[in-house]
Amino acid sequence: MAACAYCGTTILFGGIKDDDLRFCNDECFENGYALVIARSVSDNVVKREANKIYNGACPKCQGIGPVDVHVSHRVYSVLLYSSWSSIPNICCRSCGLKSQASNALFSLFCGWWGFPYGLIMTPIQIVRNIFGMARPPEEFAPSEKLENLVRIDLATQYIEEKSMPPPVNDV
């Protein structure tokens, strides 16, 4: 039986076929396709773009960088339903801290009110924010996270423009 190439779910019937890959639905197809293209984007292009972002101005406050990925974590609960997410922000350290602090505070007020996940995820998301605030990304070079986001972003652009990435040895 086929498994979805993106999420790994077993496909009972239907799904989308692309060459020898199968996907369970449109969303997985798009994500999975971006991953396939992302793997073929050359490291040099990724590093060059990541460096440009790292050394550029912060997209949020226009302040000086270094600009990198600062992930903030939040959870909210409504009645008994809880929802949590981790949001990668490409910005300077001080914008990253602001976002982590405000999401920690948001979770502190809005996270608890679901059972059982609100009670479980609220402390986890708050601690994740505190860790993120206490531990800045690398000080000298773009982080792996930034390079990954750039890689997927480039892949998405190639797909939207329906062009193929430049050959791998292009510098």
Does the protein bind Zn ion through residue 11 (CB under 5 A)? no
Residues 124-153 that bind Zn ion (CB under 5 A): none
Q: Cα–Cα–Cα angle for 75, 81, 85, nearest 5°? A: 25
Q: Which of 90, 95, 121, 126 binds Zn ion (CB under 5 A)?
A: 95
- Residue 121 or 149: which CB sits closer to Zn ion? 149
Q: List, in sequence order, every residue forming a beta bridge with 88; answer none if it has no partner.
A: 71
- Residue 39 or 115: which CB sits closer to Zn ion? 39
What single string gives the DSSP state of each residue in the chain?
Answer: --B-TTT--B--S--EEETTEEESSHHHHHHHHHHHHHHTS-HHHHHHHHHHHHHS--TTT-----EEEEEEEEEEEETTEEEEEEEEEEEEHHHHHHHHHHHHHHHHHHSTTSTTHHHHHHHHHHHHHHHHHHS---SSS--HHHHHHHHHHHHHHHHHTT-PPPPTT--
Binding mask 19-58 for Zn ion (x = CB under 5 A): -----x---x-----------------------------x
- Residue 16 or 37: which CB sits closer to Zn ion? 16
Does the protein bind Zn ion through residue 64 (CB under 5 A)? no
**Residue pointed to by tokens 């990304």:** 137
Q: Which of 2, 30, 60, 113 binds Zn ion (CB under 5 A)?
A: 60
Q: Select the span of 12-20, 46-54, 86-94, 149-157 touching Zn ion (CB under 5 A).
A: 86-94
Does the protein bind Zn ion through residue 16 (CB under 5 A)? no
* Size of interface with Zn ion, in residues (CB under 5 A): 13
Question: In the complex, which residues of this chain contact Zn ion (CB under 5 A)?
Answer: 4, 6-7, 9, 24, 28, 58, 60-61, 63, 91-92, 95
